[in-house]
Amino acid sequence: MMYNSTTDKSVSVSAAQAIAQGISSDGGLFVPCEIPSYSLDDIKELASLDYCGRAKKILADYLDDFTQSEIDECVAKAYTAEKFGGSNPAPVVFCENGGVNMNILELWHGPTCAFKDMALQILPHLLTKSLKKTSNGKKAVILVATSGDTGKAALEGFKDVDGTQIIVFYPVDGVSPMQKHQMNTQLGGNVNVCAIKGNFDDAQTGVKEIFTTDYIIDKLKSGNMLFSSANSINWGRLLPQIVYYFSAYCDIANSGRIKLGEQVNVCVPTGNFGNILASYYAMKMGLPVKKFICASNSNNVLTDFINTGVYDKNRSFYTTVSPSMDILVSSNLERLLYHLSDNDDKAVSEWMTALKSGGRYEVGDEVKNRVSKLFFGGFCNDGETKKTINNMFSESSYLCDTHTAVAVNVYQNYVKSTGDNTETIVVSTASPYKFSRSVLEAVCEGEALPENEFDMVEQLNKVTSRPVPAPLAALKDRQVRFNNVIAANEMPEYVLKSLGIN
Ligand SMILES: *Cc1c(COP(=O)(O)O)cnc(C)c1O
């Protein structure tokens, strides 16, 4: 199966090349030129397998230049019971709140307690195999600029993976104390972490410059290395996310809550549009999904787009209690527009150019109608998010994080406004302990809180009796390994030194 670029469909590359390259040279994103089709019998067969079995089948149908044993090896290394705390890395928990039923898909049982582990635990293995096929197994150097969650998830994913080296830059005052501690105590022989004097944009700009600086690229070449990316637009990050939608559907069917073939809705707390797009691919493959409910926080650019067909990032940016969704440019929307415009690469190219130059584009009536037929957009503010956490815990004994609470809130409003009672998969993207401060504030309304992050974790545990995930509990006693703080213009030198080629 070949992959085309969203902005030039004459570009056609293999799966390994799409993953190794990350982004197409014309600036577009890689999309599969055809989507595998699953019958009800195929889904029935998936339902008889465990999570790894389901993943092996689905990945193989998209990565036809990989052997089945290569795929099996990637899956087996990624989703171990040790890393995900059990044999099902993506369990579904049934919950009823405010008269609304929800099948909560928990995607945060991995090593960093957020859903990015689902993709970043397997991407390094897919990437090293892709590089073997396309670049004679040169060592892959992964550079990441992070505002928190992605950096840690990438570090855990690439830690001690043969043939890779990873360097993460973060803004010195731009991440939470817990996130900083998570990164600075990172284990592994092939990892480096460094703080930048500046904000996230400075770190991101620095990384982008290094990627395209000739003398650095030459030095890497002579060291038999090349730059590669773990970016969320890489097809190798999107593909593993399709698996858990099939898996959740199978688990719900196996539990008897739905019959095989019956339709479900999905509701996803959305930022970069990767997670919800994976559910769209699942539907295109044959998963019976009726409605995609796209939940945003106060940065509600997607809500407006779904309702009006106008994407406009010229608006206030809000820092919210669900920081991983504080995004005004949702990169993966580009892939949906390509599919919904019947592969109109010229139109997608024009929209993306307009977005870059003026921060705005408007799709035509045809695409707009298709979007609003499939998607429902809703949002809620921080006050409503915290109220939802409080209600879920006090009335339904379910403790959720701030991002999940946005999805729950938007879903409950969806049911109220539409009366649609179709069984729904509500996606839960982080452990409540990852955002202890906000969750504590929501649960213990008005009470005094401790200052220190670890004391907050302890108090949340005392108040709720929910177990602290082992990876977060273990952090407290970890030694700090990285405490470099450098100016942004020192980043190239830091990279070369870390790689031993300065
Ligand atoms: C990244 C992230 C999201 C947003 O997911 P997208 O795929 O970018 O839409 C939501 N919640 C959490 C906790 C995240 O880390």
Query: What is the residue-level pLDDT of the chain in tens, covering all 502 positions?
Result: 999 999 999 999 999 999 998 989 898 999 999 999 999 999 999 999 999 999 999 999 999 999 999 999 999 999 999 999 999 999 999 999 999 999 999 999 999 999 999 999 999 999 999 999 998 878 999 999 987 788 999 999 999 999 999 999 999 988 888 889 999 999 999 999 999 998 887 888 899 889 888 999 999 999 999 998 888 889 999 999 999 999 999 999 999 999 999 999 999 999 999 999 999 999 999 999 999 999 999 999 999 999 999 999 999 989 899 988 988 989 999 999 999 999 999 999 999 999 999 999 999 999 999 999 999 999 999 999 999 999 999 999 999 999 999 999 999 999 999 999 999 999 999 999 999 999 999 999 888 899 888 999 999 999 999 999 999 999 988 999 999 999 999 999 999 999 999 8
CA 497 / ligand 1 centre spacing (Å): 33
Task: Return all residues near 209 (Cβ < 8 A) that are at least 6 apart.
Answer: 491, 492
Ligand 1 pocket check for 382: Cβ under 6 Å: no
Fold of 90-113+241-432: Rossmann fold (3.40.50)
Q: What is the pLDDT of residue 482?
A: 96
400: phi > 0 → left, psi -120 to 50 → alpha, else beta; which?
beta
The whole-angstrom separation of Cα 140 and Cα 20 is 9
Q: What is the CA radius of gyration of the chain?
A: 22
Q: Determine how β-strand 164-171 pairs with β-strand 310-312.
A: unpaired
Q: What is the pLDDT of residue 92?
A: 98
Cross-strand pairs, 101: 96
Q: Are 119 and 237 in contact (CB under 8 A)?
A: yes
The helix, strand and coil proportions of the chain, stated in percent and rounded to the nearest 5, come to 50, 15, 35
Phi, psi of 370 (to 5 degrees): -65, -40
CA 41 / ligand 1 centre spacing (Å): 32
DSSP 344: -
Token duo for residue 132: 């073997």
> Residue 8 half-sphere exposure, CB side, CA atoms within 13 Å?
10
E strands along 236-373, which residues? 264-269, 289-296, 310-312, 360-362
Task: Look at residues 85, 124, 121, 123 and name the one whose alpha carbon lies nearest to residue 106.
Answer: 85
With residue 152 as reference, give the H or E element that holds it.
Answer: helix 149-158
CA 198 / ligand 1 centre spacing (Å): 24
Ligand 1 pocket check for 274: Cβ under 6 Å: yes
Task: Look at residues 379, 367, 423 and name the one whose alpha carbon lies nearest to residue 405.
Answer: 379
Helix (H, G, I), strand (E, B) or coil at 255: coil
Residue listed under structure tokens 């006693």:
477
Q: Strand 100-106: give its sheet, edge to edge.
A: 92-97, 100-106, 424-428, 264-269, 289-296, 375-379
Task: Return all residues near 452 (Cβ < 8 A) that are at least 6 apart.
Answer: none
Q: How many CB atoms sit inside 10 A of residue 495's CB? A: 26
CA 116 / ligand 1 centre spacing (Å): 7
> Residue 129 half-sphere exposure, CB side, CA atoms within 13 Å?
23
Q: How many CB atoms sit inside 10 A of residue 338's CB? A: 23
Residue listed under structure tokens 């070369």:
496
Burial class (CB in 10 A: 0-12, 13-18, 19+), 6: buried
What are the sequence ranges of the domains in the chain? Answer: 90-113+241-432, 436-468
Measured by CA distance, the residue closest to atom 2 of ligand 1 is: 324
The whole-angstrom separation of Cα 66 and Cα 63 is 6
Best residue among 175, 270, 429 to mutate for probing ligand 1's pocket (most ligand atoms within 8 Å of CB) is 429
- Looking at residue 246, its amino acid is F
Ligand 1 pocket check for 109: Cβ under 6 Å: no
Atom of ligand 1 nearest to the CA of 116: 15
DSSP 114: B
Best residue among 120, 403, 410 to mutate for probing ligand 1's pocket (most ligand atoms within 8 Å of CB) is 403
CA 428 / ligand 1 centre spacing (Å): 10
Ligand 1 pocket check for 114: Cβ under 6 Å: yes
Known catalytic membership, residue 116 = yes
Atom of ligand 1 nearest to the CA of 271: 9
Catalytic residue among 56, 116, 291, 434: 116
Angle at 488 between CA 486 and CA 489, to 5 degrees: 105
Cross-strand pairs, 196: 171, 486
Ligand 1 pocket check for 403: Cβ under 6 Å: yes
Atom of ligand 1 nearest to the CA of 403: 11
Ligand 1 pocket check for 134: Cβ under 6 Å: no
Cross-strand pairs, 487: 197
